[in-house]
Amino acid sequence: MKPTIKTVLAATAATLAIIAVQPANAKEAIPQNQAVKNVVLVHGAFADGTGWRGVYDRLTQRGYRVTIVQNPLTSLEDDVAATKRALNQQDGPTILVGHSWGGTVITEAGVDPKVAGLVYVSALSPDAGETTAQQYEGFAPATEFVLDTRSDGFAFINRDKFKAGFAHDVSDADAAFMADSQVPINLSAFGTKLKNAAWRTKPSWAVIATEDKAFDQAMLLHMANRMNAKITKVSASHALFMTQPEVVADTIDTAAQTVSKTR
């Protein structure tokens, strides 16, 4: 039986509808036999886990199982505990990812045996016995990244300076929302010495925002080189975990594929 014009049009419409829902930047799905399929994402200070949505979408579209940590930002111990709870949910080897302060967290928590590799997204990476605050010593101050510290020791990014210091590559409306929804961090956490440095024993990758105003570029490169991390640079603000989700997701995918080959 020959198809009618109505049948052909219906089939064409269905095909176009399927194509329409596929993201323009979708990548090929990961192989079913890939050893590392789990990813845990750890946010930094002044943000929360929802900022990872773009990275989450891209990774889940490729077949990864992604878990997002919600750090309380009350202490290093509390944030490490939150990350360990997420790692405990994983059913196999995992790539652990941290942005900014989240890098300190994954450095401490990443010694967990489930962690197969680490990805630092413009992130801090102290050594064992060091504090986060020590990482800034000897580098240029971040003059555009202005903090307002309250009497209880918790700090916010100054609202008027938020876009310039944290996310200059988003719209004014988005920057305003981010500033008004920021999560403060207890600055005493920056004075806590780490007991572990997971990057000493786990392969590491670093994505560095070349227009980051929260950290001196030399500082970011020094930390990444000390870890012997594979470095990717991208033109972005400190909020690259939100504004450059494709680059970040690609780096995580590369990390997962690379460590899978050794398992």
Secondary structure (DSSP) of the chain: -PPPHHHHHHHHHHHHHHHHHS-TT--PPPPTT-S--EEEEE--TT--GGGGHHHHHHHHHHT-EEEEE----S-HHHHHHHHHHHHHT-SS-EEEEEETHHHHHHHHHTTSTTEEEEEEES---PPTT--SGGGGTTS---TT--EEE-TTSEEEE-GGGHHHHH-TTS-HHHHHHHHHTPPPEEGGGGGPPPS--GGGTS-EEEEEETT-SSS-HHHHHHHHHHTTPEEEEES--TTHHHH-HHHHHHHHHHHHHHHHTT-
CB 55 within 8 A of CB 98: no
pLDDT value of residue 15: 39
Using an 8 Å Cβ cutoff, are 70 and 82 in contact? yes
pLDDT of residue 28: 86
Q: Which amino acid is at 7?
A: T
pLDDT exceeds 90 at position 220: yes
Reported as a single tens digit per residue, the pLDDT across 83-97 is 999 999 999 999 999
> Tokens representing 90?
């994983």
Decide if 132 contacts 186 (C-beta within 8 A): no
Q: What mean pLDDT do residues 167-191 have?
A: 98
Where residue 159 falls (left for φ over 0; alpha for ψ -120 to 50; beta otherwise) is alpha
Number of Cβ atoms within 10 Å of the Cβ of 255: 23
Domain boundaries, the chain: 31-260
Residue 9: predicted pLDDT:
40
pLDDT of residue 103: 98
Whether pLDDT at 204 is above 90: yes
The CATH number of the structural domain formed by 31-260 is: 3.40.50.1820
Q: Is the pLDDT of residue 16 over 70?
A: no
Output the pLDDT for position 26: 55
What's the average model confidence in pLDDT over 214-224? Answer: 98
Polymer length in residues for the chain: 263
pLDDT range class, residue 27, cuts 50, 70, 90: confident
Cross-strand pairs, 231: 206
CA angle, residues 141, 123, 263, in degrees to nearest 5? 155
Phi, psi (5° rounding) for residue 50?
-65, -20
For the segment 96-141, what is each residue's pLDDT rounded down to a tens digit?
999 999 999 999 999 999 999 999 999 999 999 999 999 999 999 9
pTM above 0.75, yes or no: yes
**Res 62 pLDDT > 60:** yes
Taking the CA atoms of the chain, what radius of gyration do you get in angstroms? 20
> What mean pLDDT, rounded, does the chain reach?
92
